Amino acid sequence: MKRYLDAVSPLFVALVISLAASHSMALGMIHGSDIVLIVPARPAVLKLAFDLQNMRDITLVSFRTQTLSGPGAPPPASPKLRGEPRQGKAVNISKPLIHVWKGNDWQYVPFHDFCSMAFIEKAPRTVIVIGDDQTVPKPLLQGMGWPCKTERLLTMDAADLINGLDPYFQFSSREWKRLADSYGLKLEDINEPKRSFNPYNIPRSKLPLETHDFRQEKGDTPPAVLIEKSGNQTNKAPDPSTLK
């Protein structure tokens, strides 16, 4: 009996692991990254988000507001993505539609799974939400109870986004040039004046003079006062007989 259990135990453990993995795949969970980038489903912002994902290991999440279907309803902000609720199914239009990029396709994330962070296995360190209050739905921000730091960039301008994301991504010189070429931006080296400054090239006549201010505290001995003698007084040599 013991030999039978010893033989079955490894198989049982492997089966449990396989079932757990299958369960995660069924839930659409991804491994996750240290940074989660949440962006509106707009072509220009998504293009920048994919460029950043090619540079760094990030989790990319996209959102858009739900709209009513039927005559006179506005078109969706982006093409229909796989996994969205079917037409005719009851949906809450006050909640945004959320998708996560899984490497080769977008995966729909139910709103309650997004709020509870049930769609990723590892909690991130930082979440960056792009868009102002008119772009980002309030339920999305209010529903995020994630145990990490949440930052916001209240713009969708490419230059402002790249500058605002640099503290988190620490772009290299090559990446700065690549991003500038991709979005038609001009690089400006703000540290160039500091590097070109050489104090040894400044003439001494233009250097500021050093001044020393002496402050007399209460109770200190006053400084000696030099008294100039009048012109009719002459200095006499001391009498040697008086010297001791």
Domain annotation covers residue 2 = no
Question: Which residues, in sequence order, are bridge partners of residue 130?
Answer: 153
Tens-place pLDDT, residues 152-171:
999 999 999 999 999 999 99
**Shortest CA distance to 137 belongs to which of 106, 81, 99, 94?**
94
User: Within a domain: residue 177?
Assistant: no
Burial of 52-88, coded b for 16+ CB within 10 Å and e otherwise, reads bbeebebbbbbbbbbeeeeeeeeebebeebeeeeeee
Token couple for 223: 């400084």
Total domains present in the chain:
1
Residues in the chain: 244
In a domain? residue 189: no
Q: What tokens appear for 52 in the block?
A: 């950043």
Q: In this structure, is residue 46 part of a structural domain? A: yes
Distance CA 102, CA 59 (A): 9
pLDDT tens for 125-155 read 999 999 999 999 999 999 988 999 999 999 9
Averaged pLDDT for residues 89-112: 84
> Per the domain annotation, does 84 fall within a domain?
yes
**Who has greater pLDDT, 233 or 39?**
39
Residue 202 lies inside a defined structural domain of this protein = no
* Nearest Cα residue to 131 out of 197, 42, 241: 42
In DSSP terms, which residues pair with 37 in a beta bridge?
Answer: 60, 128
Q: Which of 55-69, 82-96, 112-126 has the lowest mean pLDDT?
A: 82-96
Predicted model pTM: 0.62
pLDDT score for 92: 54
Which residues are CB-neighbours of 203 under 8 A, at least 6 positions away? none
Query: 65: Cβ–Cβ under 8 A, 6 or more apart, which residues?
Result: 77, 93, 96, 97, 137
Q: Are 148 and 125 in contact (CB under 8 A)?
A: yes
Where in the sequence is the domain holding 45, given as residue range(s)? 32-171
Cβ count near 96 (within 10 Å): 21
Q: Is 214 in a helix, a strand, or coil?
A: coil
Are 132 and 154 in contact by the 8 Å Cβ rule? The answer is yes
In a domain, 131, yes or no: yes
In the numeric block, which tokens belong to residue 91? 């949906």
d(CA 127, CA 148): 7
Residue 149 domain-assigned (yes or no): yes
Tell me how far apart the alpha carbons of residues 76 and 55 are, in angstroms, rounded to a whole number.
29
In the predicted structure, residue 73 carries a pLDDT above the cut 50? no
CB 61 within 8 A of CB 39: yes
